[in-house]
Each structure stands twice: as C-alpha cells, then as structure tokens.
Structure 1
C-alpha cells in the first residue's frame, strides 16, 4: 500500500516536469511537503477532452477518491489506494479506470516493515528522479450545495498499487505503480478507454521502475520537514 508520501517540488518545477508550457496549472496553495496523509491535498496530472481537443492540467486533489454516487465526501472504506488487479471491476473505481486516469507526482513514499510487534519506517524513492505514480481521479459534487456554488465540486484521487516487486517485498507486500515516462501520455489520454488490460499493462511496465527504487530506514514519520526523508 501507499499511505504516506513526500512531494518536495515547487509549483514551477511540477509545471515544467508534467505539463510544460502548453498545459494548465491550478496549484495556488501548493507548498512542498514531506508527510502527505490520506485526505490531504496532492498535485495530480490529468487530461480532459473537449470539442476534440485534449488538455493536460496540473490540479490539486483530495487524496482519497470519492465516487460520484457517494452522498458524503468521507467514504465508508479507505479509498486512498486502489488495487490494480481489481479496480476495473469495482464500482468506486471502474468509471475512473475507463477515462479519468491521473499521474500523481512523488519524491518518494514511506512504508513500514513489520516484524513481530516492531514497525520500522522506510523511505522509498527513485534515485535522481521524480516518480509519476499511476492514479485515478473523480469529481464529486456536494449535494448539499447549490449547483452554482464554486465550493460544490471536489477533485479527488487515488494511487494504484500492485504486488510488491521482489526487491521491496521484504518491506511490504504491496507497492504503488510508478509509471515509466514513455507510458505517461498513453495512461493519461482520456480518449483511450481503460479496462483491466490497461491496468495490467501499467503494472507490467512499472516493474522496471519499481525494481530500480532505492530504500533506507528513516526516523518516525510524525511531523513535517526534509529531515523525515534523511537516512537514519
């Protein structure tokens, strides 16, 4: 699973990396952070198609996907992760698999190795590069607010996970799906109808990236700041 991660890039860096000069960005309140928790705001890269034109955007989303049919913003079950092997058949995630796929930028993520009653935190990252994690997004409308209320719509997102690659399975049995750069365009393309085959393709392609991740023990992940990702 992926329950905490870090994103230490400034807005301008994220724009240059993920959308370029022709994309759009709406990250007014973004600040680099080293301890992102479920339901916190996260940068997401998405594409939308209108009148035959596809636009790439960098937006702020709530990390925990809320399906459009939900009556509340808070879901009954955790939705900050979605299992890649079953997301296409789950009512909460299937519509997003079809046409609302996202990339979630990450400097790295935390995972806890459990041995007996001892839990040891590790920071896992791609050496010298930023990760683009495969994700899904959904727009949720608050039924309690008027249709013209600007606070009515909430962009929400989840990170896909898969069985851990062999180099990480001693830490945890799941890992997020880090997409190789050559798959970013195809993954985001809203004109590509997503299904289980697309998810399987993403997982297979991610193995090379996931197998290249480095990991090291860190201190307790309890506050905020760059010291959280320093080796212990």
Structure 2
C-alpha cells in the first residue's frame, strides 16, 4: 500500500529519482540460490531501471550501489560485489554511452582497488558529454560522511580566507557536498519493504518524496518504475508551505 496525498499532477516527471536498491540477498535465498546470483540479478535490474528512466524522460538517476557500511560484509560478498562493479564499468558503459547516458560517481573511491578506480574515472570521462540521462553511482558512499567532508572542506576554505563565515548558508554548504552540481532528488525509492534511508543522501533528501515498495530489487522493472512515477504524480509537494 502506498501513501498518496494531494491531487494528481498529470504529466509531471521528476527531474531526479534516487533509489536504494535492496533485496538481492532475500531474492536469492527465496530461490535457493547463492548470494552472488542475487547480486547478478540486481545488476540486470539496474539496466532495466536505466532504460525506464530514459523512456520516462527523467534526467538524473542516483543508485545506491555500494554503501560505506557495505565494507562490513563478508570478504567474499565484498569481492563478489566489486567484481560485478568492475565488469559493468568495463564492459557495459559503452552501451549506456550509445543511449546518451552520462556516468557520475559519488563516494569514497579510495577504498576500491586501483583498477576499479581507474574504470570508474574512465566511465565518467567517456560519457561526460552525454545529456539524455545522468546515472549517478553512489559507491562507498555515506550521507553522514558526505556532510562531514563538506564541513571540513568549508572550514579549510574559511581558514584559508577564501570564504567568510558570514557567507555560510544552506546553499554555500551544499556547494561543498559531493552532489554540489546535482539537483536534489525529487523522489527517494527503497525496494524490499524496508522503510529507512540507511545513510543515503541525508542532506539532499530533506524535501524528497519517500516511496517504499515491497518489490525485491532483482524483480524491479519498467512497470515498477512507472508505478513510482504515478505515485509521485499524486503527491502534493509543499516544501513547508501551506496549500493554497
């Protein structure tokens, strides 16, 4: 059951959809398959999701691909996730580029192996001029860490005299975040029935519409993406103001 409020805004397409892709493990377990099979199926769902975003006219799609907390998982699972990431960065970026998709990376890439970092940067460079859809991969990303690094960078700018403390406001602070040149998400979706943000885009999601669905991520397809957009079209976004 999805919460719906306000009148329908027919034809409204969000600029930025962000997704917490959850449920790979449960999907695999329910089928008696190894965990890696769930992650592989989840990677296929990513491709379906990107195609659906392009078809819908969404301009930004941010995917929580690997959180800063995911490093706490077993060494085998981390290795499997990293191998999948390496494969898709190396062999699937060309397909996305042909569709006009630009790749952006946010997060702490320093924790990945040098070849993964190199593939990530190559993907960004080779797709930098594309304009149909920007896919932002959040890799080794944490919302709290993002806020902390922004505060540290801003403090250094103040110490260096390039920024006055009196100039600091929300817009100034936002300019130090990893997402500085991105629009805030209009929607944050989480699959698998869980109802929490799990340290994802905490600052940026202040006024996002939150949509939680029961579908496990490997089962997510264009129909689910369209359903999310339909829910969004019925939400009344007030940004703190009272309805007119």
Which of 1 and 2 has greater Rg? 2
Q: Higher relative contact order by CA 8 Å / sep ≥ 6: 1 or 2?
A: 2
Same fold (TM over 0.5): no
TM-score, normalised to structure 2, is 0.24
More helix by share: 2
More strand by share: 1
TM-score, normalised to structure 1, is 0.24
